[in-house]
A and B are shown apart, each in its own frame.
Chain A
């Protein structure tokens, strides 16, 4: 005995998929100006700053956006390089002596990625909350 799905059922299922999801955006491409400058700045700091650990600094980018479903709020998760474009340009434009004397080496070593997270709140899944991670300017 064969069962065939009703065309109405299939149509409703597809409509439900579009209604409750997709439209998500994901970007993991790191061929970007801020990432490339961050990497160049860290390479420079490695030559200028005694004992600088390049692996402790993250020059990564990613962006994830998931739209809200029928019962949940949208979520956003983004990470940007620990040294933004302005900070990287500032570092690349300074001499090694100036970087060491100005405390840039120490601040860069501790720099954490700029990140953003927005999503459902713990108390009310249908509403959203957001958080940002930042740090004091490394070089200005």
Chain B
């Protein structure tokens, strides 16, 4: 899985760097001249596709996971508002496996290539039982903070690196986690 992510990242960067042009930047980076797009505030709609890895502690058990996410939203006047959905497949180091579906929303401030914000989501968390091949399913709510950096921008789109910290409340238990993602804003 790590190789797949690495290959994806390299392919994306190569493709993006071949197409990237400074005058394509929608929102000016630090030190760059404001483009026409930033001079006149407007709303730009984006889709999000991301993938990455996360780490959580479930009752103190370390759980590592791979996650993929989809989203949709808009940037306007230095603020990005997005609806997000994520799927996460996790495994504790001794073999316990978990699955998480999330649906939520985020708000993030935009400064140049950087974004910083937070959001809330609802989630369905499942633990796979090896003893009877069923799952323990729980609903929960979560809050998160996220930050990202647009590594490459091209034609109004961007390849970004993001980090995210979560706290989930699942049946009166707090589950803390962190994740790193590579994504596209399309």
Indicate whether A and B interact.
yes
A interface residue numbers (CB < 8 A to B): 29-31, 33, 35-44, 46-47, 54-55, 57-59, 92
Q: Max chain A CB contacts within 10 Å: which of B97, B131, B133, B138?
A: B131
Q: Does B61 contact A (CB under 8 A)?
A: yes
Chain B residues with a Cβ under 8 A of chain A: 58-61, 92, 94-97, 127-133, 136, 138, 170-171, 173
The 10 A-B pairs of least Cβ separation, nearest first, read A43-B95, A40-B96, A44-B94, A33-B59, A43-B130, A54-B130, A31-B171, A31-B138, A30-B136, A59-B131
Q: How far does the Cβ of A118 sit from chain B's closest Cβ, in whole Å? A: 26
Bound state CA distance, A55 and B61, in angstroms?
Answer: 22
**Distance in Å: Cβ of B149 to nearest Cβ of chain A:** 36
Q: Given A31-B173, A47-B95, are A36 and B130 also a contact pair (CB < 8 Å)?
A: no
- Is the Cβ of B173 less than 8 Å from the Cβ of A39? no
Q: A44-B95, A47-B95, A54-B131 are in contact. List 14 more A-B contacts (CB 8 A).
A: A31-B136, A31-B170, A31-B171, A36-B136, A37-B59, A38-B131, A39-B130, A40-B61, A40-B94, A43-B92, A43-B97, A46-B95, A46-B130, A55-B131
A61→B60 CA distance, assembly (Å): 20
20 A-B pairs in the complex with CB atoms less than 8 angstroms apart: A31-B136, A31-B173, A33-B59, A35-B136, A36-B58, A36-B59, A36-B61, A36-B96, A39-B128, A40-B92, A40-B94, A43-B94, A43-B96, A43-B130, A44-B95, A47-B95, A54-B130, A54-B131, A58-B132, A92-B94
Report chain B residues within 8 Å CB of A30.
136
In this complex, what residue of B is CB-closest to A35? B136
| A42 CA / B60 CA spacing, docked (Å) | 17
> Chain B: which residue is nearest A85 at the CB level?
B59
Q: Which residue from chain A places its CB closest to the CB of B173 in the assembled complex?
A: A31
Bound-state Cα–Cα, A29 to B137, Å: 9
Q: How far, in angstroms, from A38 to B61 measured CA to CA in the complex?
A: 12
Nearest chain B CB to A131 CB, angstrom units = 24
Interface of A is mostly: helix
Closest to B133 in A: A55
Query: Which residues of the partner chain A approach B60 to less than 8 Å between Cβ atoms?
Result: 33
Name the A residues within 8 Å of B171 (CB-CB): 29, 31
Complex formed: what's the CA distance from A46 to B61 in Å?
A: 18
Cβ–Cβ contact B131 & A58, under 8 A: yes
Q: Which residue of A lies closest to B172 (CB)?
A: A31
Alpha-carbon distance A36/B97, docked complex (angstroms)? 10
* Bound complex: CA A1 to CA B72 (Å): 66
CA distance A30 to B129 in the complex (A): 11
Q: How far is the CB of A22 from chain B (nearest CB, A)?
A: 24
Least Cβ distance of B59 to chain A in Å? Answer: 4
Write out the residue numbers on chain B whose beta carbons fall within 8 Å of the beta carbon of A38: 131
- Please give, as numbers and ranges, the residues of chain B lying within 8 Å of A29 by CB-CB distance: 171
Q: Which residue of B lies closest to A53 (CB)?
A: B131
Known contacts: A43-B94, A92-B94. The answer to whether A59 contacts B59 by CB under 8 A is: no
Residues on A with C-beta less than 8 A from B128 are 39
Kindly state the separation between the CA atoms of A33 and B58 in the bound complex, as whole angstroms. 8
